[in-house]
Chain A
Amino acid sequence: MKYKIILLATALIVIAAGAYFYVNRKTQSLTDSKADYKVSAIKFLEDYNSDQVLSDKKYLGKIIQVDGNLKDIEKDDKGFLTFVLGDLTSMSSVRCSIDTTVVIDESSYPVGTVVSLKGECTGFNADDLGLGADIVLNRSVIIQSKN
């Protein structure tokens, strides 16, 4: 009887602790996450430009590893960084918002070099506003830079 009570109490504690950690778990960094798809920035933009609905089904919410020419690094007023990848002559880009928990030195990544990043695809802005079409990746982390 005593053994059963101890077993039940242990089981309840384990379930309660599991539920607590499940509910309160934080959004994780993507550093150690495996990419669902690996694609070049040019191909990624081609996919979205040819069929947005199909591409959303494939890529939206997924972790994407994207390789491409670094067109620009934008830094906003609060210091948040966005790596802009794609064809240097095109207005369209893959915009990778860098994970704010990761500290990087942006001067190590010269414009024009090929970089590889991993981030969560949050969608595609077609060129409705005359600003070029963009794919946005959130919580992006840098995998490597190929000089």
Chain B
Amino acid sequence: MKKILLVAIVLFLGASANAQDKYFTKNGTITFDATTSTSPEKVAAVNKSVTCVLDSKTGNTQFSVLMKGFEFEQALMREHFHENYLESEKFPKALFKGQIINPSQINYSKNGIYDVNVKGQLTIHGQTKDVETNGKVSVNDGKISIAAKFAVLLNDYGIEVPRLVSDKLAKSASIKVDCSLQVLGN
């Protein structure tokens, strides 16, 4: 009987520790910017409903981004983005599955900003490519946030930029990631 109780306690503690290892958000922000130096206006959109899960122990990181969640200030730009370029109804989601290469360098119980290297696979517009980028994990009194900035070549993801708009729309888009995470299970 004592053994069963002991096993149950060990399993419970194990499960609790496991939940504490993971952090998540459903309100992460990703900014997309494909403005060129000759663009008459900013070609930029923001998505504020990004889902992200980070496993602090393994460094595994996943993002799920609903493409229709990208909002532009100008309605016509928004329509072109979703209908002509990203085809958001055909490819409603972008995904990233990757890993922080150096997870042991982050001390989640000590305040600080930790430089990280992230490697993984990014799927946009139905095309999957390997990506690698630098980012930062910030720990501030138990609050965890992650940030990264990298560029993607639109052509790599089967997104063609017509010659007619090549002076307004960059071939390489800047992607900025900003997520404040909370402990999974709370």
Contact = CB atoms under 8 A, between A and B. Distances in A.
B64 interface: yes
Interface stretch (B9-17, B75-83, B111-119): B75-83
Interface string A114-147: 0000001111110011110010101100000000
Interface residues of B, number: 27
Interface stretch (A3-11, A21-29, A31-39, A103-111): A21-29
B27 A76 contact: yes
Nearest to A120: B68
A131 B27 contact: no
Given A76-B27, A76-B180, A131-B26, A26 B68 contact: no
B170 to A, nearest CB: 19
Contact of A138 (B24, B71, B73, B88): B71
B42 interface: no
Contacts of B71: 27, 138-139
Interface string A68-89: 0000001011001010000000
Interface in B76-98: 76, 78, 82, 88-89, 92-93
Contacts of A77: 180
A76 B143 CA distance: 13
Contacts of A129: 24, 51, 53, 62, 64
B62 to A, nearest CB: 6
B172 interface: no
Interface residues of A, number: 31
Contacts, number: 84
A90 to B, nearest CB: 15
Given A56-B89, A97-B49, A136-B49, A123 B69 contact: yes
B64 A24 contact: no
A61 interface: yes
B92 A123 contact: yes
B48 interface: yes
Contact of B76 (A25, A28, A120): A25
Contacts of B78: 27
A60 B67 CA distance: 11
Nearest to A93: B26
9 contacts: A25-B74, A27-B71, A27-B72, A80-B48, A82-B27, A122-B66, A123-B93, A130-B53, A136-B49
Given A27-B72, A61-B82, A134-B51, 4 more contacts: A23-B76, A60-B89, A125-B66, A136-B49
List the 4 closest pairs (A to B, CB-CB), nearest first. A122-B68, A123-B66, A122-B69, A122-B66
